Amino acid sequence: MPDSYTASFEPTWRAIVVARRPLHYVDGADAHADRPAHVRAGSSLAWLGPFLALVQDDANFVALIDPRDASTRAIALPRGLGGMRQFDDTRGNKAHKLDLEACVVLTDGERETFVAFGSGSGGRREQLVVLDDALSAAPSIRLLDAGVLYRALRAEPDFAGSDMNIEGAMVHGETLRLFGRGNGAARDGEVARNATCELDAPAFLAWLRAPDGAPPRPRRIVQYELGRLDGIALGFTDAASRGASALYTATAEDSPDATRDGVVTGSVIGLLPLGGGAPRHARLTAEGGAPFTEKVEGVALHRSDEARAYLVIDSDDPARPSELCEVELVGFWAP
C-alpha cells in the first residue's frame, strides 16, 4: 500500500493575491500561425532562464512571460489537425488538443531542456513537448509520442486511479515528481486520486534524448486527501520546489470527469513535505479578504522572495486572457 496523507488548513497562514495582470502577446494576433492576441489558457509554470514559461491546454504555444511587466512572447509548437493551433468546442476540435497540463525544466549542467506533459486523459494527450535552446532564435522543438511512459504510469493504479490526469510536475535534486489531480470519474471499482509519483530525473532526460529505449519506471507513489472548499473536493493543479517541500496549488472544481470543466469555488496554496508528512495549505484570498474564486492552474516561486509566488489563472474561456498573479504568503511558511 502507498503512503497516504490528509492535508489540513493552516490557520496561521494567509495567501493574498496582491496583483493580477492579463497576458497579451507583444506581437499581437497572427492568423497565419493561428495565434490569438492573448494567452487563452494557463496550465503550468516553470522558470526558463529569466522568464516564466507557461503551457496551455488548448493552444499549441508556449508563452514566455517577463515577470517584471507581464510582457509575453510566443513559441509556436507543431500544428495539429487541419493545421490548427487552437482547440475548443466552438471549432469542434477540442478532442484533438494536446492538453498540456504540466511542465518542468531539466538540466544536465550544460543546457536547459523544457518539457511539457500531456495530461494522459486520452490517447492524443499522451505526448510530450520537448524544447532545447528555447530562448534562442531557432529553438529545437519536438513532439514526442510518450505512450510507453503513460502506459507505465497507468499501470500503477495507486497513482493513476480511475481517470489519470497529470496536472503538475517539479524537479527536486535528481527526482522528477508528477502530480495527479483527483477530479476524474469513478469507474470499474476505482476512484480518482490526488497522488504523486517519482521518476529518476537524469534517466528521464537521457530517455528524452534517446527515446527508443525504455523510460524510467515510476516509484514512491504517495496519495493525498486534500479536503474541500464549499463542499467541492480539492485537486492538485501544479507544484514547484521550495526547500524540502513542494509548494503546490489545488482547486475545487465541480467537474464530472478529467476532460470536462465545472464550477470553481476557490483554490488553495500549500506546502507538501517531500520526505513524507501531511500537507498544509491556506485558501487564496483577494486583498480585502474575500475568497479568490478563480481557477488557479500554475505556480512558480518568486526567485528573490520566498514569501511571494507567481500564479496563473485559467478562466476556461478562450476569449478571455489568462492572468499572471502575484501572491503574498503571510505567516510562518517554513519549508
Strand partners, 318: none
For residues 24 and 4, give the distance between their C-alpha atoms in angstroms, rounded to a whole number. 41
How many CA atoms does the CB half-sphere of 25 hold within 13 Å? 19
Average pLDDT of the chain, as a whole number: 94
Asked whether the CA dihedral 45, 49, 51, 56 is positive or negative, the reply is negative
Q: What is the pLDDT of residue 122?
A: 78
Strand partners, 106: 113
Q: For residue 25, how far is the Cα from the chain centroid?
A: 21
- DSSP-based three-state secondary structure for 222: strand
| More confident site: 179 or 332 | 179
Span 41-59, mean pLDDT? 96
Q: Residue 147 above 90 pLDDT?
A: yes
User: What does DSSP say about strands 194-200 and 280-286: parallel, antiparallel, or unpaired?
Assistant: unpaired
Strand partners, 116: 103, 129
In the chain, domain spans = 3-330
With CA atoms as reference, report the closest residue to 146 among 102, 208, 88: 208
Query: Could you give phi then psi for residue 33, rounded to 5 degrees?
Result: -85, 0
C-alpha dist (Å) from residue 255 to 55, 91, 120, 121: 21, 22, 17, 14
Q: Report yes or no: 90 and 188 within 8 Å, Cβ to Cβ.
A: no
Q: What is the pLDDT of residue 187?
A: 81
Q: Residue 123 above 80 pLDDT?
A: no
Q: Report yes or no: 269 and 257 within 8 Å, Cβ to Cβ.
A: no
User: Cβ neighbours of residue 290 under 8 Å, at least 6 residues apart?
Assistant: none
Q: Residue 110 above 80 pLDDT?
A: no
Using the 8-state DSSP alphabet, how is residue 69 labeled? Answer: T
Residue type, 203: A
For residues 20 and 85, give the distance between their C-alpha atoms in angstroms, rounded to a whole number. 26
For residues 122 and 320, give the distance between their C-alpha atoms in angstroms, rounded to a whole number. 26
| More confident site: 47 or 256 | 47
pLDDT per residue as tens digits for the range 168-223: 999 999 999 999 998 877 887 788 899 999 999 999 999 999 999 999 999 999 99
pLDDT band at 146 (very low <50, low <70, confident <90, very high): very high
Q: What percent of the chain has pLDDT above 90?
A: 84
Span 93-107, mean pLDDT? 94
Q: What is the pLDDT of residue 91?
A: 92
pLDDT per residue as tens digits for the range 246-294: 999 999 988 666 556 678 999 999 999 999 999 999 999 999 999 999 9
CATH class of this structure's domain 3-330 = mainly beta
Query: Could you give phi then psi for residue 308, rounded to 5 degrees?
Result: -135, 150
Torsion angle of alpha carbons 79, 82, 83, 86, nearest 10°? -70
With CA atoms as reference, report the closest residue to 296 among 39, 21, 44, 8: 44
